[in-house]
Amino acid sequence: MIRTLYIDEMNTLHVCDSPYDIEVTPKWLWVDMSEPTKEENLLLSQFFHFHPLSIEDATTVKQRPKYKEYDDYLFFVFHAIDLRTMKPEEIDIFINSTLIVTYHKEASEEVDKVWHTMLNKKPNEKVTTNEVMYKTLDAIVDNYFPFVYDLEDKVFSFEDRHSVDISTENLIDETFDLREDLLLIRRTVLPMRDLVYRLLEGKVLALSKKQKIFLHHINDHLIKQVEMIESSREMTADIRDNYISLNSFRMNNIMKILTIYSVIFMPLTLIAGIYGMNFDVMPELHWKYGYLAVWIVMIAITVGMIGYFRIKKWF
């Protein structure tokens, strides 16, 4: 689907489907390409004459957040987060001082939000292509917060659950699932933060003071999100290590008890083995009190070893 918004020389806002429908030279033009078909993709090359490499990046290859400079425009790749699957969705932007083209293969809530904002602009209110890009970027970044907060809440809930949930295995599985979600959103937020930082520190865009403040605002949000993600990852790592240590502690206690029992029964097994041999000449075998004496010796050995282990505080 293609939709077009432009301003003529009289600063009047117009909306149409295709840029081919524009009958005047626009002062400012925004074309949004949402879930475009192969035929609609031809607009990028046949109408706008964008560089083939930027068209390839937008239409075929999954890109990381980045920007590239071309002769008469800039090409940006942003990543939004799908509200249902938590997977990144690519939003590509071709922009210069009078033109902006937003390209996304899935419907974008963020772009729709900015589109309606532009439609509600007051007459003669100044609008720039940079403003559209910044507002789109701001909407993308703001939509990260619900996911980050939700993951942080899940991490904090573990502290309340560990005292009542006796299933260590379940908690470990949930912890690894949570770390996978954190890694997924981290791979989206970190490159976006780096991109915004490069825009702030570089000279790619001619930024006014107001635009720099707006971009700093976006950068601050990204920094906060990265810190929250890193904090949550550290907490999940601590939870994972604690439960692994607890499991190891329990296993060590079990092995210690089994070892103690094994050590106690070793001399008893030795005695039983000796007197279980089928020799004819064994004095104790024909002794009247031999059976009782063996039992007394075995009980004495057992009590003595248990007492020794208790004195050593081995259990």
Domain-located, residue 263:
yes
Domain-located, residue 76:
yes
Domain-located, residue 98:
yes
Q: What DSSP assignment string belongs to 209-220?
A: HHHHHHHHHHHH
In the chain, the DSSP E strands lie at 2-7, 13-16, 28-34, 66-69, 74-81, 88-95, 99-104
Domain-located, residue 247:
no
* Domain interval for residue 303: 258-311
Burial class (CB in 10 A: 0-12, 13-18, 19+), 242: middle
Q: Which residues of the chain have pLDDT under 70?
A: 83, 123-125, 159-169, 202-207
Domain-located, residue 94:
yes
What pTM value is reported for the model?
0.73
Domain-located, residue 232:
no
Last residue of a domain, which of 94, 125, 156? 125
The predicted-structure confidence for 159-214, as pLDDT tens digits, reads as follows 666 554 445 667 777 778 888 888 888 888 888 888 888 888 766 666 677 778 88
Reference 53, options 39, 38, 69, 37; nearest CA is 69
Last residue of a domain, which of 89, 105, 125? 125
The predicted-structure confidence for 120-141, as pLDDT tens digits, reads as follows 877 666 777 888 888 888 898 9
Exposure on the CB side of residue 225, measured as CA atoms within 13 A? 28
pLDDT at 168: 60
Domain with residue 34: its CATH number is: 3.30.460.20
Calpha distance 80→70 (Å, rounded): 24
Last residue of a domain, which of 73, 102, 125? 125
Domain-located, residue 46:
yes
- Parallel, antiparallel, or unpaired: how do β-strands 99-104 and 28-34 relate? parallel
Q: In the block, which residue shows the tokens 């520190």?
A: 201
Domain-located, residue 72:
yes
Number of domain units in the chain = 2
